[in-house]
Chain A
Amino acid sequence: MKITELFDRGEFVVSAEVGPPKGIHIDGLIEEAKKYLGGITAVNVTDNQSSVMRLGSLAVCRQLLDAGLTPIYQLTCRDRNRIALQSDLLSAAMFGIENILCLTGDHTSLGDHPGAKPVFDLDSVSLLHTVCQLESGVDLGGNPLVGEPPKFAKGAVVSPCSDSIDAQLAKMERKVLAGCDYFQTQAVFEPEKFIAFMERARQFGKPVQLGIIIPKSAGMCRYMNNNVAGVHVPDDMLDELAADKERAKAGITGVEIAARVIRECRPYCQGIHIMALGWESKVPALLKQAGI
């Protein structure tokens, strides 16, 4: 199922993401996903997130599909040139994977193989363009595909709380022009910023899923503030998390905060995207508290 169909029907689309392990055993991952994410619309599978080498996104997507879930296949441009990317897109279509999320990818220098060659033959915009090409039955080299071309729901990301908001919106517009169907955002902790962003992003007419991280502790939030681009947890939330360490540790405070953000932003977005970061088990409680 393409998640664009749900957006078209006006449904509030909920997705969450899982990160493949550095290894070949994913029974646990599949079990958790089935248990906690079974009720939501779709599950993103990250592609060597943070430039750390892991099990492939495509393979895990296939397993999730077999387990009855709807995977969103994330592709980054960091590790593959246009030949490999197109080939993997065809493979995904063959497996029945219908949702993709096109990203540029973190730079290799940030990961666990800093000496690797950063590819970036394409970027998120040109990857979206490439997918459209494939969908029209022609590859990027202008050669026809054999048989029915693939069809995807093509997603991309945007950082609504970025400090470079003008450049982000300019890029978002380019993604729309290149054929993007929907957006997932970087984690939001400041609803007012998100709302202001949506005022400007609405003109593009594409559904936007609000990015959500359940904050685990004040320390984790401070780390994100310092190290994760486009993410800022305001001081009052930090205080809230620091106030009762046990409550925060149990996830109670974090779920409260995340639910609050969702409730405030809900009128302005078309869905949410949860980056659970290991707290997949908290997702059902979060959705309940947020009233979804």
Chain B
Amino acid sequence: MENYTKYRLKSSEELIQTLAGTDHIFVVACNKCFKEFTSVYEPECDEFTALAKAGGKNVTGAIRVDFLCNKTQTLGRLRDIVPAETENVFVISCGLGIQTVADIVQLPVFAASNSIPCRGHHGMALTPKTCDACAQCYLNVTGGICPVVDCTKSLLNGQCGGAKDGKCEADPTKDCAWEKIQQRLSKLGRLEEFRDHPVQLRDYSKVNSKLIRDYVHTIRKKRFEGYYGGVHPSERKEMSEHVQLVRFPEPDVVVIPLSMHAGKPSVPLVKEGEHVRVGQRIGEQAGFIGASIHSSVSGTVLAVEERRHPTLGPGVLSVVIQNDKLNTVDESVRPHGDIEGLSPEEIVEIVKDNGIVGMGGAGFPAYVKLQPGKPIDAVLLNGCECEPMLTADYKVLLHYADDVIYGLRAIMKAVSAPRGVIVIEDNKPDAIAMLQEKTKGYENIEVLAVRTKYPQGAEKMLIKKVLGRSVPSGGLPADAGAVVSNVSSSKAIADAIRLGFPPIERVVCVTGERVHSPGNFIVKVGTSVQEILDFCGGIVGDDVTVKLGGPMMGIPQTELDVPVIKATNGIIAYEADHTIAVECIKCGRCADVCPMELFPLYFAKYVETGNIQGLKEQNIMDCMECRCCEYICSSKIPLVTKIREGKAAVRGMK
């Protein structure tokens, strides 16, 4: 494959000349891009440093940086690293990196390298440079061979007189582009079409600086809005966003796993043959990080046995219940009064008793969050639903706005927060309007509309976006003075306080191009995914990917006989994409989109080479597996899988 490294060192003579008036030199070298990521080491930094030292120069230090032109990352890496005695900075990079450094450091910056001249641009793969971005594509005239790049004179109207034996006059090793075009057109039977085309004239005004600048401005604004990185996948919410929320028919049988949360599985409290009621506790919390489990139906326990779990796979102890469809409610289910009458401790206790967990997907026990042990400035309610396709939280906001606000008030009371913010992405204007209207009476609650960007709903991103604070590496939201909760969890807290109901049902969105009739349903926990998909008319066609959750962070399902759990916000089905992973080409896009400002390419590389120390140095444990890197990876490397392997290896080391 080609190597599209963008720079090489200037000649020794020129470097010696440039070094002449300088001393106390700090060296910054870019680790190169657009070459196969076969080695981490690049030699130019040492070569130049040796040259400077040989010339009697004091080299105060040197650093090798990835993607030097990534200003955010480079700023971080150069911070506090240039020694005070430094007088000049020499940069080994293409022009982008040199300009980035010159922008950052307040010292004279010198270029120790030249860019490598090129003609035309390559794509996001190491394929030939075939496009000149002339803004007036001629490929329709030439049968798909670019005359601007391929012809040395960029001729548009046919071959010049200089071609000899089919080779270019300026470079006899190169085939004449117009010879190739002639052959291609002849093969396609398009020669007449070519003959009859009007005379082609280049229009150099088409490369419009204003258009480009405006666009750069917009995209940079988007990229850095609220927090670094993130992506904007196609939203595809139109399939289900206008479908009415309805109650899903009572299932005949529910399978309720004893593990629907982070932490230890619960201990079963019922046995085969026992009768249970709606809201009855059937699993006892085990350990501090854990949650109780409740029955979503009334009926008879068919078995307490290992079943397939949607996120944990086969072999998860579950309570299987035959639904008598009478919905007899357990006597433990009773209202707890109003927020005003409850102490913060009582609220925490209710949340704990009812086994409420993060319903946005993570399943972290909510009562733990409600005891932050630190002063909290704000409770952020995540109604972003930044995952493409999903419309479950949207429906919760529209149908249960009062409950959502009630739950927020309860959380605020529990953690003594003076401020509550409901954050909703601007693709849900009706929900924003409704919540704004309904929160009018509460001075300490505001609704914040934010521009869509994935993964906005992630705790750390939300805190950065709303409060402008960073959660420290390895820290929790409370370290930044915040508690973050999902809107569905907030509704669950309201249900627990006002009605006494634990989270035994939830809103599930069923969508995707391959679902026959997408919809939004209130579904009992334990209902089979297969049953729900059948109710929606089944899956259309073959070669379909089914995920629980959204397309970004959802868990792919190979078998559909798995239950809906507390954290299941969506069931999606779309056409499978089959790709093969190719070698990383250091395009830098993963580093460009990683909201945690990490370098995911190193995770894949170091997992392959078993470099656990390297994984730690690259802060692999900070990764929250949002999948932005994998989504953007042009080499189709399964980065998240690699990262999970890497994390396991790091944990194993401890």
Contact = CB atoms under 8 A, between A and B. Distances in A.
Nearest to B136: A115
Contacts of B206: 115
A108 interface: yes
Interface stretch (B18-26, B35-43, B197-205, B299-307): B197-205
A136 interface: no
A109 interface: yes
Contacts of B205: 108-109, 114-115
Contacts of A117: 202, 204
Interface string B193-235: 0000000011111100000000000000000000000000000
A284 interface: no
A38 interface: no
Task: Please indicate which of the listed interface residues B202, B205, B206 has the most CB atoms of chain A within 10 Å of its own CB.
Answer: B205
Contacts, number: 14
Contacts of A115: 201-206
A116 interface: yes
A117 B204 CA distance: 6
Contacts of B201: 115
Nearest to B208: A109
A117 B202 CA distance: 8
Nearest to A109: B205
A84 to B, nearest CB: 16
B349 to A, nearest CB: 71
Contacts of A108: 204-205
A116 B204 CA distance: 6
A109 B204 CA distance: 9
Interface string A191-231: 00000000000000000000000000000000000000000
A116 to B, nearest CB: 6
Nearest to A108: B204
B199 to A, nearest CB: 14
Interface string A78-110: 000000000000000000000000000000110
B176 to A, nearest CB: 22
Interface string A56-72: 00000000000000000
Interface string A231-275: 000000000000000000000000000000000000000000000
A252 to B, nearest CB: 42
Interface in A10-48: none
A137 interface: no
A63 to B, nearest CB: 32
Interface string A106-145: 0011000011111000000000000000000000000000
Task: Please indicate which of the listed interface residues B201, B202, B203, B204 has the most CB atoms of chain A within 10 Å of its own CB.
Answer: B204
Chain A contact residues (Cβ within 8 angstroms of B): what range? Answer: under 10
Nearest to B202: A117
A117 B205 CA distance: 8
A116 B203 CA distance: 6
B286 to A, nearest CB: 73
A117 B136 CA distance: 14
A187 to B, nearest CB: 27
A118 B206 CA distance: 13
Nearest to B204: A117
B353 to A, nearest CB: 72
A257 B357 CA distance: 84
B213 to A, nearest CB: 14
A114 B203 CA distance: 8
A40 B450 CA distance: 70
A115 B204 CA distance: 5
A116 B207 CA distance: 11
Nearest to A116: B204
Contacts of A114: 205
A117 B201 CA distance: 11
B204 to A, nearest CB: 5
A109 B202 CA distance: 14
Interface in A147-177: none
A14 B386 CA distance: 72
Contacts of A118: 204
A115 B156 CA distance: 15
Nearest to B201: A115
A105 to B, nearest CB: 15
Interface string A172-185: 00000000000000
B113 to A, nearest CB: 24
B647 to A, nearest CB: 54
A114 B202 CA distance: 11
A32 B431 CA distance: 76
A52 to B, nearest CB: 15
A108 B207 CA distance: 13
Contacts of A109: 205
Contacts of B203: 115
Contacts of B202: 115, 117
A114 B204 CA distance: 7
A257 B204 CA distance: 42
A117 B156 CA distance: 14
Contacts of A116: 204
B473 to A, nearest CB: 46
Nearest to B209: A109
B161 to A, nearest CB: 18
B89 to A, nearest CB: 23
B208 to A, nearest CB: 9
Interface string B587-616: 000000000000000000000000000000
A118 B204 CA distance: 8
Interface in B312-361: none
A116 B205 CA distance: 7
A207 B206 CA distance: 42
A115 B135 CA distance: 12
A115 B208 CA distance: 11
A118 B202 CA distance: 12
Task: Please indicate which of the listed interface residues A108, A109, A114, A115 has the most CB atoms of chain B within 10 Å of its own CB.
Answer: A115
Interface in B1-44: none
Nearest to A113: B205
A118 B209 CA distance: 14
B26 to A, nearest CB: 28
A178 to B, nearest CB: 21
B205 to A, nearest CB: 4
A113 to B, nearest CB: 9
Interface in B169-204: 201-204
A40 B519 CA distance: 88
A66 B383 CA distance: 83
Contacts of B204: 108, 115-118
A108 B203 CA distance: 11
A33 to B, nearest CB: 35
Interface in B543-580: none
A148 to B, nearest CB: 34
B137 to A, nearest CB: 16
A62 B201 CA distance: 33
A84 B195 CA distance: 32
A56 B204 CA distance: 23
B203 to A, nearest CB: 4
Task: Please indicate which of the listed interface residues A108, A117, A118 has the most CB atoms of chain B within 10 Å of its own CB.
Answer: A117
Nearest to A117: B204
B151 to A, nearest CB: 15
Nearest to A114: B205
B212 to A, nearest CB: 13
A121 to B, nearest CB: 15
Nearest to B154: A117
A115 B203 CA distance: 4
Interface in B434-482: none
A218 B202 CA distance: 40
A258 to B, nearest CB: 36
A221 B204 CA distance: 32
Given A108-B204, A115-B203, 5 more contacts: A108-B205, A115-B202, A115-B205, A115-B206, A118-B204
11 contacts: A108-B204, A108-B205, A109-B205, A114-B205, A115-B202, A115-B203, A115-B204, A115-B205, A115-B206, A117-B202, A117-B204
6 residue pairs, one from A and one from B, having the closest CB atoms = A115-B203, A114-B205, A115-B205, A117-B204, A115-B204, A109-B205
